[in-house]
Structure 1
Amino acid sequence: MSSQYDVLVLGGSGVDTIVYVPELPLPYADSYMIRPGIETRAGQTGDFVALGLSALGLRTHHLDMIGDDPSGDLVRAFHRDRGIDFTEVPLPGGTKRAVNLVGPDGRRLSLYDDSRSRESDRLPEEVVRSLASVSRHAHVSLTYPCAFTLPLLREAGLTISTDLHDWDGENPYHEPFALGADIVFVSTTALSDPERTMRLILERGRAGIVVATAGAEGAYVLTGDGLVHVPTVAPRAPVIDSNGAGDAFAAGFLFGRLTGESLDRCALYGAVAGAYACTVPATGSDAIDHAGLLEEVAALTGSAAPGGEAERAGSVAGRTRPLARPPVTGPRT
């Protein structure tokens, strides 16, 4: 019997208020005049992963807790307007919110409202089990209630992915996610030794694939066969915003994985999707579609220019650049 859904996305719904600032860090001043303005829209990590997967043609269902409030209405409309199936569970503290300060170069600083979460927040087991039973894969967002779903998803036999975002490699909150997923995404932003952290995840947890996104340095993929460097892909339009680039990379990578592509091709899909996301303003909610992804990949792999397929690094020293923290510009998770 075939599954009803290719991917069940858990958690990560919320609303962002986007503020464009003249520079980051923002120097203290009594006031700033902001253009093109300040806008509140639905879309946090789980929303954008679900959007990216759905735009690429994967049958996607999103499950999360949201409030009975105007912010929740924006989240509901986000899914309804894009045809993404969404199951909501009441969140007593209200829909999650954040403020994103976005600089002229597309970098962002996110301020998360931590008052919305409560110790008792849970996704009901029966709902998780029911949706897991008709899904092939689960992508688990790094939100508190989702940690309790990991055993249920494994029990259902699903493969699992997660995104640790800007984990520092030490915070114990992230460990259940890092060690409980088959595919782990993480940003190198806060990692002092990214390769060491990646190898620890591979050695200690369930993961067979660990992906570290590194901004302008591209990304790195670690498996039991070694380390792979994924070069950046130059966007076809100007880079204006890094919001959602990591979520788009994850969606592109998972699309390749779930459609049976090679690891190199999965990584290339992720790089193309992430680059596209950097051309979309934070106030918009757009993702590369299936036709656009394949067209861009064909253009890249059909030319002699570097940056097409991933550069494989084996055990021979010097076959790839050192895995280091990224510069301050470029896509972020």
Structure 2
Amino acid sequence: MSPDIDVLVLGGAGVDTIVYVPELPLPYADSYMIDSGIRARAGQTGDFVALGLAALGLRTHHLDFLGDDPEGDLVRALHRDRGIALTALPQPAGTKRAVNLVGPDGRRLSLYDTSRGRGDDRFPQDTLRALAGASRHVHVSITQPCADALPVLRAAGVGISTDLHNWDGENPYHEAFAYAADVVFVSAAALTDPEATMRRIAERGRAEVVVATAGADGAYLLSDGELTHVPAVTPPAPVVDSNGAGDSFASAFLFGRLSGEPPRRCAQYGAVAGAYACTVPATGTDAIGREELLARAAGARSGVL
């Protein structure tokens, strides 16, 4: 029997409050007038990966804890409106939240509320096994309590990916994710030696592919021991916000991988989707569709873009 779910997304559901600021870092002042408004919208890393996967036509299911609160309602509405299956486990501490300060150049500073979770939270193993068993692949966010789910996922024999985000290569919290996944994404922003970190992940863990995204400098792909530079793709519109670019990259990469494409082609899909995400305002939630992704990737290969 073929799996009912293409990708199970684990964790990373929440709400961001977006504040456009005149510059980053923001100088101290008693107050600032925010003419563009201060807006809350559903969408943290797991939500954006799920959104990107669904926009590309993959059957997507999202599992995480949500509170019985207005923030949780926003997350549920996002999934309902986009047709993304959601299993929401009750979280008495409330739905995860963050405040994103976004500068004029699209850079952001995120402030995460770590109080909306409990140290003893665990995904019910029966639920986790059932969903993993029905899935072709699982993308694991690094939010708590996803690390404790990794042994169950490995026992289920399902493919695993994860995004370490701005890992510095030293924080031990990220290692469980880095060494358990078959596909590892990481931002190069905080790495002093991206290649060394990528090779360490591959040597110590199970990763078949490691990708380090580098913003406007493109990305670096480690596959079969070979490091390759993947050029950045010109965005289809002005860059307004980098929020969600890494999640979009991961979604498109996984689309390519599950379609049987080689790693280099998958990374090119990721570059196209990441560039598209940079044109979407932080207050919005949008992702590139399959037809546009394939067309823009073909254009990039032919030198049209």
Determine if the TM-score, normalized by the shorter chain, exceeds 0.5. Answer: yes
More off after superposition, 294-303 vs 35-44? 294-303
More off after superposition, 115-124 vs 248-257? 115-124
Counterpart in 2 of 1:4? 4
Is the Cα–Cα contact under 8 Å of residues 223 and 263 in structure 2 kept in the other structure? no
* Secondary structure in 1 matching 2:115: helix
Q: Does 1:140 align with 2:140?
A: yes
Counterpart in 2 of 1:295? 295
CA displacement, residues 213-235 of structure 1 (integer Å, 9 cap, x when unaligned):
01111100112231010100001
* Secondary structure in 2 matching 1:24: coil
CA RMSD of aligned residues (A): 0.9
Alignment of 1:273-312 (within 5 A): 273-303=273-303
Counterpart in 2 of 1:103? 103
Counterpart in 2 of 1:30? 30
What is the CA-CA distance between 1:90 and the residue it aligns to?
Answer: 0.9
What is the CA-CA distance between 1:156 and the residue it aligns to?
Answer: 1.1
Is the Cα–Cα contact under 8 Å of residues 221 and 264 in structure 2 kept in the other structure? no
What is the CA-CA distance between 1:128 and the residue it aligns to?
Answer: 0.3
Counterpart in 2 of 1:180? 180
* Secondary structure in 1 matching 2:186: strand
CA distance in 2, matches of 1:86, 1:122: 17
What is the CA-CA distance between 1:298 and the residue it aligns to?
Answer: 2.1
% same residue: 71
CA displacement, residues 167-201 of structure 1 (integer Å, 9 cap, x when unaligned):
11111111100101000000011111111111110
Counterpart in 1 of 2:236? 236
CA displacement, residues 269-309 of structure 1 (integer Å, 9 cap, x when unaligned):
0000000000000100000001111121122223377xxxx
Letter in 2 for 1:112: Y
**TM-score (structure 2 length as normaliser):** 0.98
Letter in 1 for 2:227: L
Alignment of 1:168-317 (within 5 A): 168-303=168-303
Q: Does 1:131 align with 2:138?
A: no
* Secondary structure in 2 matching 1:281: coil
CA distance in 1, matches of 2:70, 2:290: 32
Aligned residue pairs total: 305
CA distance in 2, matches of 1:304, 1:49: 28
Unaligned runs of 5+ in 2: none
Counterpart in 1 of 2:14? 14
CA distance in 1, matches of 2:270, 2:50: 14
Q: Does 1:161 align with 2:161?
A: yes
Q: Hey, which bits of structure 1, 4+ residues long, moved more than 6 A? A: none
CA distance in 1, matches of 2:156, 2:213: 29
Letter in 1 for 2:197: T
